[in-house]
């Protein structure tokens, strides 16, 4: 039975990034680049003005110098006449610097009157000039493959004239709930039945991670029906099931997967909740069999499935940010497996303080709704006193920010 870290390592060693695909720039946001982005030309492509003002020769523009205006150069102009000696050209931000000019005098440092401009402060060579190639020379790598596309990357792509870009593909993740007691939401709820929340919740978690969920519905505890739906799920890039992985006479998932040629790498993890979690492979397709309890299913998804999906999408940082926090109150527990404790977080001065998000029973969803993070209490550890330090995996930023 692996520890949490051993299970995570086994899973990540078993998955690889999917192939690349070309998508429109805006569809690439949040996805991982599968190519280096190089400068197709010098950036900027020509010397240009960083200010509205006057293009001058710095040597001809000491303080109080008066220069005749010889040209007007707006942004977008195809070019400008060379600057004649003893003159200045009115120039706008982004406009090409005329040949012969080596500085720009900002408008607020000059006075224009009667076709001439008086320089109020001496111009310095290179002042307020954006030089050709100063940002990036042609052929330079601007963004490395592996970067996540955001606003700056989109800005660079647009600046380069790109309408599409190569990114790692998003895995299609089949999600299957199992159990005779489950009814799809929206159908009449008969006595003894409960609505299937795991299907939609795990699909939402898949989508939030950036992958594409494929809902297979609910499989009853029947070998033939389960086999058919699991076979459908194995056609996706990954398969996530919930329930049916314990040791009861109706826990059929692992056995049916074995019949379908799926090779189990581990069953059960040294954690609580989430102990009866299995991981398997079929020809490189990862299969995650999670507990049926909604809290345990979502916690094991966070710690075991989400990192694998991110790795498949080319991400390099695949785990939630981990921060140290001080317990605000005593945490009572029996020594045993590594505990995944749902906690709320708050900032007190330089410290991050954690307190229980509520009852930690696996049937209490409210404490997961209220949680900012998952505190990891090591296996073998019993009661923790207030003031003890714990590691917390952040689910969201608490008020005031958690920091790292």
Superfamily of domain 322-394: MoeA, C-terminal, domain IV (2.40.340.10)
Element (H or E) spanning 364, and its range? none
Determine if residue 14 is left, alpha or beta; phi over 0 gives left, psi from -120 to 50 gives alpha, anything else beta.
alpha
Per-residue pLDDT of the chain (404 residues; tens, 9 = 90+): 899 999 999 999 999 999 999 999 999 999 999 999 999 999 999 999 999 999 999 999 999 999 999 999 999 988 789 999 999 999 999 999 999 999 999 999 999 999 999 999 999 999 999 999 999 999 999 999 999 999 999 999 999 999 999 999 999 999 999 988 999 998 898 999 999 999 999 999 999 999 999 999 999 888 998 999 999 999 999 999 999 877 655 678 999 999 999 999 999 999 999 999 999 999 999 999 999 999 999 999 999 999 999 999 999 999 999 999 999 999 888 888 999 999 999 999 889 999 999 999 888 899 999 999 999 999 888 889 999 999 999 999 876 654 54
**Residue found by looking up tokens 């073998």 in the block:** 380
Give the helix ranges, DSSP H, for 245-324.
253-259, 294-300, 306-312
Round to whole Å and give the CA distance between 95 and 72: 10
Candidates 3.40.50.300, 1.10.3720.10, 2.170.190.11, 3.40.50.1000; CATH matching 48-130: 2.170.190.11
Residues of the chain with CATH 3.90.105.10: 20-43+134-168
In the DSSP assignment, the letter for residue 302 is I
- In terms of Cβ atoms closer than 10 Å to its own Cβ (0-12, 13-18, 19+), residue 244 is buried
Instruction: Produce one character per residue of 259-271: b if its CB has 16 or more CB atoms within 10 Å, e if not.
Output: eeebeebebbbbb
Tell me the residue length of the chain. 404
pLDDT of residue 79: 75
CATH of domain 4-16+170-312: 3.40.980.10
Residues of the chain with CATH 3.40.980.10: 4-16+170-312
Q: Taking a C-beta distance cutoff of 8 angstroms, is the pair 262, 295 a contact?
A: no
Superfamily of domain 20-43+134-168: Molybdopterin biosynthesis moea protein, domain 2 (3.90.105.10)
Paired tokens of 20: 């690349």
Partners of residue 189 on adjacent β-strands? none
Round to whole Å and give the CA distance between 142 and 164: 16
For residue 79, report the phi and psi dihedrals to the nearest 5 degrees: 175, 175
Residues of the chain with CATH 2.40.340.10: 322-394
Element (H or E) spanning 12, and its range? helix 4-14
Sequence-ordered list of residues with C-beta below 8 angstroms from that of 216, at least 6 positions apart, any chain: 174, 175, 176, 199, 229, 232, 233
pLDDT of residue 332: 83
Residue 360: CB atoms within 10 Å: 20
Helix (H, G, I), strand (E, B) or coil at 52: coil
Helix (H, G, I), strand (E, B) or coil at 304: helix
pTM, two decimal places: 0.89
Residues of the chain with CATH 2.170.190.11: 48-130
Distance of CA 39 to the CA centre of its chain: 25
CA angle 305, 307, 312 (to 5 degrees): 95
């Amino acid at each position: 039975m692996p520890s949490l870290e051993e299970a995570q390592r086994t899973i990540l060693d078993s998955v690889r990034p999917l192939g690349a695909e070309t998508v429109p720039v805006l569809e690439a946001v949040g996805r991982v680049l599968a190519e280096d982005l190089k400068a197709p030309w010098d950036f900027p492509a020509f010397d240009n003005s960083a200010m509205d003002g006057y293009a001058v020769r710095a040597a001809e523009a000491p303080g109080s110098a008066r220069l005749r205006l010889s040209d007007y150069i707006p942004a977008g102009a195809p070019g400008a006449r060379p600057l004649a000696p003893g003159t200045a050209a009115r120039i706008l931000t982004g406009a090409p610097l005329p040949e012969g000019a080596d500085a720009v005098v900002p408008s607020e440092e000059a006075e224009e009157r009667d076709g001439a401009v008086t320089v109020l402060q001496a111009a310095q060579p290179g002042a307020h000039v954006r030089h050709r190639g100063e940002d990036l020379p042609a052929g330079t790598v601007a963004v490395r493959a592996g970067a996540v596309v955001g606003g700056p990357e989109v800005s660079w792509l647009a600046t380069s004239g790109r309408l599409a870009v190569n990114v790692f593909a998003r895995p299609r993740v089949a999600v299957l709930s199992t159990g005779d007691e489950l009814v799809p939401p929206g159908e009449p709820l008969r006595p003894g039945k409960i609505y299937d929340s795991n299907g939609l919740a795990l699909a939402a978690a898949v989508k939030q991670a950036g992958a594409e969920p494929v809902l297979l519905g609910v499989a009853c505890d029947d070998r033939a029906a389960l086999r058919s739906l699991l076979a459908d799920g194995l056609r996706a890039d990954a398969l996530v099931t919930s329930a049916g992985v314990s040791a009861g006479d109706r826990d059929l998932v692992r056995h049916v997967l074995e019949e379908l040629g799926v090779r189990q790498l581990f069953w059960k993890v040294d954690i609580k909740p989430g102990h009866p979690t299995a991981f398997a492979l079929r020809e490189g397709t990862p299969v995650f069999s999670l507990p049926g309890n909604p809290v345990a299913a979502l916690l094991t998804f966070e710690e075991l499935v989400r990192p694998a999906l991110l790795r498949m999408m080319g991400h390099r940082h695949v785990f939630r940010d981990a921060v140290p926090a001080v317990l605000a109150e005593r945490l009572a527990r029996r020594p045993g497996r590594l505990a995944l404790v749902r906690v709320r977080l708050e900032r007190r001065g330089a410290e991050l303080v954690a307190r229980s998000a509520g009852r930690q029973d696996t049937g209490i969803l409210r404490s997961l709704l209220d949680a900012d993070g998952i505190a990891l209490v090591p296996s073998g550890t019993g009661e923790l006193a207030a003031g003890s330090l714990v590691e917390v995996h952040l689910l969201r930023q608490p008020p005031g920010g958690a920091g790292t």
